[in-house]
């Protein structure tokens, strides 16, 4: 089997020289470690919006079994099979960019790594890699958008997926099963294997322990960071179960999502914090009855409640935990956000009852016509249109560009926009990015969130972290 599949796209100002020393943004796409779902984003808009003051690199990496094969047989292999090829691809791309940075006008010592969903999760894993030192010679800052916990596992946790693929390839009973797969033509291998069940593996080398443990112990690279998420992460388009009808079904779905080991007391606290009244509103109180009901025909009576719970347990609480950990090690350039832009145009996200869905911030950050999923209608409208979110998108993009350039979102923010104050454990500030403006708020009840923050977030996920890591929160 031979592979020749690693490519990078670099976007740089036309007038950059080897003396320009421009900051570099490296983007890691999402896709649940099974696909590169943001793999064709165009960095031209970011470079132009920065006034030619930054460089963007977008590199692909291996996914699925090619990128994240794992298992006890892989660990024991003596012929070169290793876990975490996909992570090593990311590292190789960053090192390549660093080595050749000046050829594009870049500063080799100023690479800000950014990633969405599983790409953001990969960033967290890399920051806790190498026994907690991360890559201090490589990354100057990081932005993790809707990272979740990801899908780390130990070698033994990968055995089922590995055995399934050994069986489907006809290699299960071979004398050397791994070598049997290794010798297959790549096209045949791809046709006979599945992409599901893979993710970073704790192999004791690159990854010493699950990254939630590393972060809780303060063992991670301490650099300026941005963590955040969209308001309504767990909408039917992502991780909520749109068919649940009863409280019992919601409870069963939560257990299935975060792990069977969740205690009765923990589940009871969650269900009490999210009562049935949430069935008609999202996490932030938006009434779905005013939206297009026909687009939700066939939905269960309690899908909104289910979505609200998963939004916080799988995304909001995770990002808050990571922000807390950076605060705990004294990082003052520690920023958090909530992306709250709605697309209320015909056929838009709000029309579908999705509101601000998973990784929707990417449309604003990368700018109009630069993403591969099709822009929300509101970004395409003139800013004077009451349904437009063009102004909000420009505000968000400016904060991101400022962070890339100076490791501070405020240095080059748009005139008239608020200062984005840092997050601390005792003062959990985050910026809210709306259709036409930005504002600061504190996470929790003050932001209109239901009280899941009280019974569970106060524990800083100490009881839930072990549950969540086993529950395979696969960010997409």
Q: Dihedral, CA atoms, 179, 184, 187, 190, nearest 10 degrees?
A: -40
- Please tell me the predicted confidence (pLDDT) of residue 420: 99
Residue 455: predicted pLDDT: 38
Question: Is the residue at 303 inside a domain?
Answer: no
Q: Other C-beta atoms within 10 Å of 331: how many?
A: 18
Q: Is the pLDDT assigned to residue 463 strictly greater than 50?
A: no
Domain-located, residue 242: no
Could you report the per-residue pLDDT of 213-255, keeping only the tens digit for each? 899 899 999 999 999 999 888 876 666 677 888 999 999 988 8
Q: What is the pLDDT of residue 298?
A: 65
pLDDT at 414: 98
Which letter, b or e, does each residue of 94-124 get, where b requires 16 or more Cβ atoms within 10 Å of its Cβ? beebbeebbebbbbbebbbbbbbbbbbbbbb
Among 103-112, 292-301, 364-373, which is the least confidently predicted range? 292-301
Task: Give the model's pLDDT for residue 475.
Answer: 33
Per-residue confidence (pLDDT) for residue 287, from 0 to 100: 53
- For residue 52, count CB atoms less than 10 angstroms from its CB and return exposed for 0-12, middle for 13-18, buried for 19 or more: middle
Residue 162 has pLDDT above 90, yes or no: yes
Q: Rounded mean pLDDT of the chain?
A: 86
| Among 72-76, 279-283, 426-430, 452-456, the least confident range | 452-456
pLDDT tens digit string along 272-323? Answer: 878 887 665 555 555 554 444 444 566 777 887 888 788 887 888 889 889 9
Q: Is the pLDDT of residue 122 over 90?
A: yes
pLDDT of amino acid 4: 66
Instruction: Report the distance separating Cα 105 and Cα 381, nearest Å.
Output: 34
Angle at 327 between CA 324 and CA 329, to 5 degrees: 115
Tell me whether residue 177 is in a domain.
Answer: yes
**Of 229-233, 355-359, 403-407, 450-454, which has the strongest mean pLDDT?**
403-407
Contact 7, 57 (CB under 8 A): no
Q: So what's the pLDDT on residue 381?
A: 92
User: What is the arithmetic mean of pLDDT over 49-71?
Assistant: 95
The per-residue pLDDT for 476 is 33
**The pLDDT value given to residue 266:** 79
Range in 407-411, 438-442, 450-454 with the lowest mean pLDDT: 450-454
- Closest to 464 in 3D by CA, of 335, 231, 273: 273
In a domain, 290, yes or no: no
User: Would the pLDDT of 172 be above 80?
Assistant: yes
Would you say residue 256 lies in a domain?
Answer: no
The stretch 436-444 carries a mean pLDDT of 89
* 270 in any annotated domain: no
Query: What's CA 306's distance to the chain center, in Å?
Result: 20
Q: Residue 103 has what pLDDT?
A: 98
What pLDDT was estimated at residue 464? Answer: 38
Q: What percent of the chain has pLDDT over 70?
A: 85
Residue 448 placed within a domain: yes
Instruction: Please give the residue range of the domain that contains residue 51.
Output: 8-236+312-339+359-378+391-470
161 vs 265, more confident: 161
Helices (H), ranges, 193-302: 211-216, 247-258, 264-273
pTM score of the predicted model? 0.91
282 within domain boundaries? no
Indicate the number of domains in the chain: 1
| CATH, residue 161 | 3.40.50.1820
């Amino acid at each position: 089997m031979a592979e020749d599949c690693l490519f990078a796209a670099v976007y740089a100002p036309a007038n950059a020289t080897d003396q320009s020393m421009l900051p570099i943004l490296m983007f890691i796409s999402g896709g649940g470690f099974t696909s590169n779902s943001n793999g064709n984003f165009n960095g031209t808009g970011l470079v132009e919006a920065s006034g030619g003051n930054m460089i963007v690199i977008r590199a692909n990496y291996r996914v699925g079994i090619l990128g994240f094969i794992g298992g006890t047989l892989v660990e024991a292999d003596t012929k070169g099979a290793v876990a975490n090829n996909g992570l090593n691809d990311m590292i190789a791309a960053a090192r390549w960019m660093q080595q050749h940075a000046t050829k594009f006008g870049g500063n080799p010592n100023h690479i800000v790594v950014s990633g969405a969903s599983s790409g953001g999760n990969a960033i967290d894993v890399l920051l806790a890699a190498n026994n907690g030192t991360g890559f201090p010679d490589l990354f100057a800052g990081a932005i993790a958008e809707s990272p979740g916990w990801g899908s780390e596992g130990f070698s033994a946790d990968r055995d089922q997926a590995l055995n399934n693929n050994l069986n489907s390839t006809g290699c299960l009973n071979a004398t050397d099963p791994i070598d049997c797969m290794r010798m297959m033509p790549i096209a045949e291998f791809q046709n006979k294997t599945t992409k599901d069940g893979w993710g970073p593996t704790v192999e004791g080398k690159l990854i010493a322990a699950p990254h939630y443990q590393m972060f809780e112990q303060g063992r991670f690279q301490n650099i300026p960071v941005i963590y955040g998420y969209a308001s309504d992460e767990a909408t039917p388009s992502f991780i909520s179960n749109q068919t649940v009808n009863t409280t019992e079904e919601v409870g069963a779905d939560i257990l299935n999502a975060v792990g069977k080991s969740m205690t009765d007391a923990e589940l009871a606290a969650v269900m009490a914090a999210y009562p049935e009244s949430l069935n008609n509103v999202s996490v932030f109180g938006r009434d779905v009855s005013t939206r297009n009901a026909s687009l939700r025909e066939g939905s269960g009576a309690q899908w909104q409640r289910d979505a609200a719970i998963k939004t916080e347990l799988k995304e909001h609480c995770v990002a808050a935990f990571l922000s807390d950990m950076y605060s705990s090690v004294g990082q003052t350039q520690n920023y958090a956000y909530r992306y709250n832009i709605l697309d209320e145009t015909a056929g838009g996200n709000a029309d579908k009852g999705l509101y601000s869905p998973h990784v929707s911030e990417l449309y604003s950050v990368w700018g109009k016509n630069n993403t591969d999923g099709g822009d929300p209608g509101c970004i395409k409208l003139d800013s004077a249109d009451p349904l437009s979110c063009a102004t909000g998108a420009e505000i968000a993009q400016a904060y991101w560009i400022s962070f890339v350039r100076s490791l501070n979102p405020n240095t080059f923010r748009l005139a008239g926009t608020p200062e984005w104050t840092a997050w601390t454990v005792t003062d959990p500030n985050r910026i809210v990015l709306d259709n036409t403006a930005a504002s600061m708020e504190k996470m929790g009840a003050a932001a209109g969130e239901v009280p899941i923050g009280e019974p569970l977030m106060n524990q800083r996920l100490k009881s839930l972290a072990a549950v969540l890591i086993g529950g395979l929160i696969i960010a997409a």
